[in-house]
Amino acid sequence: MRTLLDTHAWIWWVTEDRRLSRRAKATITTALAEQDLWLSLISVWEVAKKIEKQQLVLDRPLDQWLDEAVTIQGLGVWELTRPVLVHSCNLPQPFHGDPADQILVATARRQHAVVVTKDHRIRRYAHVHSLW
């Protein structure tokens, strides 16, 4: 099953944070083994923004953390394509106004992927498959 990580799920998975649910961890493990685990490039931007705003502290410099966190065997990165960006502005309503979430959901919809997320707004959105 194509699996797309929300930014917090990616961070928690990489850092082995206990906030990652058992179901999320199991789904990630399966998708990783199938080499069908994905990250949207918007998550790289979100991590950088969290560092900029001092909302996230990493145990190493940002570039080093990112280099290691995106090159995990079995993890792919989906680029921000024009179709995804346009689709993010035309999602079936109602959907909240967070641009990063819009891009994440648009990516999942275009790639037919399930989103691993704790975010209740995404999980309640009827037009994308998600789990936690």
Tens of pLDDT, residue by residue over 15-36, are: 999 999 999 999 999 999 999 9
Neighbours of 79 (CB within 10 A): 9
The pLDDT value recorded for residue 125 is: 97
The pLDDT value recorded for residue 47 is: 97
Q: Are 125 and 95 in contact (CB under 8 A)?
A: yes
Answering whether pTM is above 0.85, one says yes
What is the residue range of 25's domain?
3-131
Cα–Cα distance measured from residue 38 to residue 16, given in angstroms and rounded to the nearest whole number: 17
In the chain, how long is the greatest CA-to-CA distance? 40
Burial class (CB in 10 A: 0-12, 13-18, 19+), 91: middle
Q: How many domains does the chain have?
A: 1
Cα–Cα distance measured from residue 62 to residue 47, given in angstroms and rounded to the nearest whole number: 9
Cα–Cα distance measured from residue 60 to residue 66, given in angstroms and rounded to the nearest whole number: 10
Which residues of the chain fall below pLDDT 50? Answer: none
The pLDDT value recorded for residue 97 is: 86
Q: Give the CATH number, domain containing residue 47.
A: 3.40.50.1010
What residues contact residue 131 under an 8 Å CB cut-off, 6+ apart?
A: 23, 24, 27, 114, 115, 116, 117, 123
